[in-house]
Amino acid sequence: MASPIEAFFNLGNKATKGDPLNKARFDYYLYWILAGAFFYLMINYFFMFYQSGFKTYSYLAWGLVMLTITWFNYSTLTAFYNGYTNLKRVYGSLNDKDAKVEQKPESESSVKEMMGEFKKDGN
């Protein structure tokens, strides 16, 4: 039986079945949820500051903190998106190569021509 810590860290493999592309997509969508939560908190704090008649500055301060966190979340979200699209492009190109017919090896004549060029330079 696996320890609880090992089971916790294997949850991601169960959700994505060990596929790096699925994991990148899962992380990207999960980070959208996290970024949305911080954006909601920011809006909520600014609205509460507005409702208090601009008197409770702690709401304004927390709204500014959430604005800062939201800015960093936006940067991280773009990084997750770029990582997902790059991984998708790499895996897509690998799958395309597998689907294509194997390339023919270089012909013997081109190798002989190249060797002849080296012999010419050596003389």
- Percent of the chain topping pLDDT 90: 48
Residue keyed to tokens 């790499």: 90
Residue with tokens 């897509």: 92
How are the residues of the chain apportioned to helix, strand and coil, as percentages rounded to the nearest 5?
85, 0, 15
Residues 6+ apart with CB under 8 A from 22: 16
Provide the whole-model pTM: 0.65
For the chain, the farthest-separated pair of C-alpha atoms sits apart, in whole angstroms, at: 92
Task: Please state, rounded to an integer, the average pLDDT across all residues of the chain.
Answer: 84
* Residue extents of the structural domains in the chain: 18-99
Tell me how crowded residue 122 is: count the other CB atoms within 10 A of its CB.
6
pLDDT greater than 50 at residue 112: yes
H/E/C letters for each residue in 73-89? Answer: HHHHHHHHHHHHHHHHH
Tell me the pLDDT tens digit for each residue of 59-77: 999 999 999 999 999 999 9
Would you say 60 and 49 are in contact if contact means Cβ atoms under 8 Å apart? Answer: yes
Quick one: pLDDT at residue 101? Answer: 46
Question: At which residue do the structure tokens 């990207």 appear?
Answer: 28
Lowest-confidence range among 11-20, 78-87, 106-115? 106-115
Give the integer Cα–Cα distance in Å for 22 and 91: 11
pLDDT at 23 over 50: yes
CA nearest to 40, candidates 80, 61, 70: 70
